[in-house]
Chains A and B, each alone.
Chain A
Amino acid sequence: MNAASPEVLTAVVERDIPHPPEKIWRALTQPHLIEEWLMKNDFQPMVGHRFNLRGEWGGVLDCEVLTVEPNRKLVYTWNYEHADAAYDLRSVVTLTLTPTSTGTHLRVEQAGFRPGQKQAYGGAKVGWQQFLEKLEQVAGRAD
């Protein structure tokens, strides 16, 4: 058996938004609106529906709707298949809407599983180091 267990990582972003949950839900579930803030897609708010998210940088994510609780909770998988294990990703995105006195508390949690990712990540990083340093110098001058 593989001795190295997959690494599970979680990213969470939370924000209070001055709009009601119903309105935010529309933005999270209607394809032409999703495209405006996330990516091109063929999403449908139906459990089991499989769809793609297409980034302008050429990446295509394979997704499947897991949970639909209108105005409250939306869960879908967010997978990227890549021959190089460094970039292979299995993750689940959970969007939670909680009504507040001023609008909605919106929370996204992305839990990812990236087996064997670290080593290759380090290798890929080295080639870009010089470019990055240059870029950071440029960026640093702006302030």
Chain B
Amino acid sequence: MENIEDMLFKTLADPTRRAIFERLCREGEQTVAALTARAGVSQPAVSKHLGVLKQAGLVRDRHEGRQTHYSAARAALAPLVDWTKQMTGFWEGRFDDLEDLLKRMDQ
């Protein structure tokens, strides 16, 4: 595959997306609404950026009531070291999402 390093770089190459990630790094967990208020783009656009960041393992989400809170997963930057670490980080992130999915699935 296109390696994780490429994916991280491509994900963070978009200035709006990078700004969202940097805000989460600097200011901690935030809701989509809070991020939208200062992002300069629409809420759907912010949600899409968060989706891409999440797939890259750069952010995590936490559901609380009807709100989704996002936080930076800074460990995701560590994969920029070697392939084994890249793929290990990738699968850790995928397994996080798998566990989220399993919680939502019927038995």
Instruction: Name A residues whose Cβ lies closer than 8 Å to a Cβ of B.
Output: 9-13, 15, 17, 19, 23-24, 26-27, 33, 36-39, 53, 55-59, 61, 78-80, 82, 87, 89, 91, 106, 108, 110, 112, 114, 117, 124-125, 128, 131-132, 135-136, 138-142
- For the complex with contacts A23-B107, A132-B77, 11 further pairs of A-B residues with Cβ separation under 8 Å are A11-B85, A11-B91, A12-B88, A27-B102, A38-B98, A59-B2, A87-B2, A112-B83, A132-B80, A139-B72, A142-B74
Residues of B within 8 A of A87 (CB): 2-3, 6
A-B pairs under 8 A by CB, number? 119
Q: A33-B105, A117-B83, A142-B74 are in contact. Are A56 and B1 (CB under 8 A)?
A: no
**Distance in Å: Cβ of A39 to nearest Cβ of chain B:** 8
Q: Is B95 a contact of A57 with CB atoms below 8 Å?
A: no
B residues in contact with A141, CB < 8 Å: 25-26
Residues B26 and A142 in contact, CB atoms below 8 Å apart: yes
Contacts of A19 on B, CB cut-off 8 Å? 102
A-B contact pairs, 29 of them (CB 8 A): A11-B83, A12-B88, A13-B92, A17-B102, A27-B105, A33-B101, A33-B105, A36-B101, A37-B94, A37-B101, A38-B98, A53-B1, A55-B7, A56-B52, A57-B10, A57-B52, A58-B2, A91-B1, A110-B87, A112-B87, A128-B80, A131-B9, A135-B77, A138-B22, A139-B77, A141-B25, A141-B26, A142-B24, A142-B72
Q: Is the CB of B10 within 8 A of A58?
A: yes
Query: Which B residues are closer than 8 A to A by beta carbons?
Result: 1-3, 5-7, 9-12, 22, 24-26, 28, 51-52, 55-56, 72, 74, 77, 80, 83-88, 90-92, 94-95, 97-102, 105, 107
Q: How far is the CB of A139 from chain B (nearest CB, A)?
A: 4
Please indicate the chain B residues that have their CB under 8 angstroms from the CB of A142 in the complex: 24-26, 28, 72, 74
Quick one: closest A residue to B98, CB to CB? Answer: A37
A13 in contact with B91 given A33-B101, A136-B77, A141-B26 (CB within 8 Å): yes
Interface SS, B side: helix
- A79: B residues at CB distance < 8 A: 1
> Which A residues are in CB contact (< 8 Å) with B83?
9, 11, 112, 114, 117
Other-chain residue from A23, A38, A124, A136 in contact with B105 (beta carbon distance below 8 A): A23
